Amino acid sequence: MADVHKPDVRSKNMRAIRTRDTAIEQRVAELLGELDITFRAQDKSLPGRPDFVLPDYRAIIFVHGCFWHHHHCHLFKMPATRTAFWMGKIDSNVARDKRYIAELTDGGWKVLLVWECSLRGKTRLEEQALSARLEEWICAAEGNGEIDEKGIHQL
């Protein structure tokens, strides 16, 4: 099936998708601020340009959109048009994410993925629960982890 938009409209729509300071990133920044945790945002010097770097804890936080990074939740749905293109695009994002996590881990960082579904949608975590999971991982966790709508898990 062909795209429902003309190329110039599709291009405009795709350019409007933000790569930084998204609503979900802003929410995580607010939570980190409420926890009084110092961070740097969008650090270009590290692999993957992490959304948040917490130098005092030697920790990295990536905030991932469930669609763009293929999370297995209700927010991910493969498009019905140009499926092969989207599968290739999303699969390359997932492979790149794994490479960055491995590089950061090898460099002595612990990495946390915060999935969009934990912050928005019908199954999102309560704000207090999300804040508690963040603090728990930052202060106590030894290894890599992820927070989704079900809670916190090890990677």
For the chain, list the domains and their CATH numbers: 21-154 (3.40.960.10)
**113 class by beta-carbon count within 10 Å (0-12 exposed, 13-18 middle, 19+ buried):** buried
The model's pLDDT over 39-57, given as tens digits with 9 standing for 90+, comes to 999 999 999 999 999 999 9
Q: Are 131 and 34 in contact (CB under 8 A)?
A: yes
pLDDT at residue number 4: 66
Q: Are 101 and 152 in contact (CB under 8 A)?
A: no
Mean pLDDT of the chain: 90
pLDDT at residue number 73: 94
